[in-house]
Amino acid sequence: MVNKRRSLLLSAIFASVTSFSAASEEDTEVQDMSDPLAVFTQAGLGYTDKGLNLKIGQTYDTGSDITMGMNVLEIKGFAGEALGWSNRETDDSIDSIRFRNFTVDLTNGRGAQVDVAWDFDSNQGSASYSFIQALPKMGILNLYPLAGLGVAAGEELVPGTGGDLDADQARDRYNLHGTFYVAGMYAKIAVTDKFWLNYNPMYMGTISGSGTFKDSGFEGSDAVFAHEFAASYQITPRANVRYFANWTENTDFTDGDHRIEFNYQF
């Protein structure tokens, strides 16, 4: 019964996105949705192993003719108990939220990103600022190196750190844990005009902060190598369907996060 409900949900989402896209034939300019630096107003719905994700993106006027800007808000992991398929413990409440601000310089292919995220399950969050540079296209391959710095904050990483706090008091404290760096790349392989693959490796490590954060701020270590793979298909110029997988050096691919996402460009 649960599997049938999931199948019906996916069919309904796909049908509604396809029909909505086919009905929208305006002559307005459509951005390349496969470009990691593309800026456009959008909405997306993801079906994940831990529930549903909702994504809303809105462009804005940067005040310059040579730059473009976009804000993106993601709400992740709600209705997990009802609709998710993960073997991990899930509930129907929101798991996390993520806000990103993108700006891109149209003259040199350089982008900047503010990335703020908060996990409600662990009460931990981060904020980072990074630069992204589009390199010259090499056949079917596009590369976009990324580098940035960030700060991590949240509940006490270790109860009682910094005083004689008991566990309950420690859980009510929110600290700035420390700073970290991120270095990586977005990579795109254009298989056809409508089908493309992405591999986005990211390496993150601690720089400063509490001893606990510097020693174990990333999955129990001072650094972590994270992976993201995506396979995407452009249904119409304004709509696509994408499969994502996220895992790390400490987590097998099969135990990572998986989702199917539908996106529409307005």
Q: How far apart are the first and last CA of the chain?
A: 35
For residue 29, what pLDDT is reported?
Answer: 83
Residue 137 token pair: 């296209």
Residue 116 token pair: 């703020």
In tens digits, what is the pLDDT along the chain, a chain of 266 residues? 545 545 544 454 445 444 444 444 444 689 999 999 999 999 999 998 888 999 999 999 999 999 999 999 999 988 877 776 666 666 778 999 999 999 999 999 999 999 999 999 889 999 999 999 999 999 999 999 999 999 999 998 864 444 444 444 445 678 999 999 999 999 999 999 999 999 999 999 999 999 999 999 999 999 999 999 999 999 999 999 999 999 999 999 999 999 999 999 99
The sign of the dihedral angle between the CA atoms of 79, 7, 248, 34 is negative
Per-position b or e across 219-246, b if 16+ CB within 10 A of its CB: eeeeebebbbbbebebbbebbbbbebeb
For residue 17, what pLDDT is reported?
Answer: 44
For residue 11, what pLDDT is reported?
Answer: 53
CATH number for the domain formed by residue range(s) 2-265: 2.40.160.40
Which residues does residue 13 pair with via DSSP β-bridges, in sequence order?
none
The structure's pTM equals 0.83
For residue 88, what pLDDT is reported?
Answer: 65
Determine the Cα–Cα distance for residues 170 and 236; give it in Å rounded to an integer: 51
Per-position b or e across 58-77, b if 16+ CB within 10 A of its CB: ebeeeeeeebbbbebebbbb
Using H for helix, E for strand and C for coil, what is the string for the chain? CHHHHHHHHHHHHHHHHHHHHHHCCCCCCCCCCCCCCCCCCEEEEEEECCEEEEEEEEEECCCCCCEEEEEEEEEEEECHHHHCCCCCCCCCCCCEEEEEEEEEECCCCEEEEEEEEEECCCCEEEEEEEEEECCCCECCEEEEEEEEEEEEEEECCCCCCCCCCCHHHHHCCEEEEEEEEEEEEEEEEECCCCEEEEECCEEEEEEEECHHHHHHCECCECEEEEEEEEEEEEEECCEEEEEEEEEECCECHHHCEEEEEEEEEC
For residue 91, what pLDDT is reported?
Answer: 73
For residue 158, what pLDDT is reported?
Answer: 66
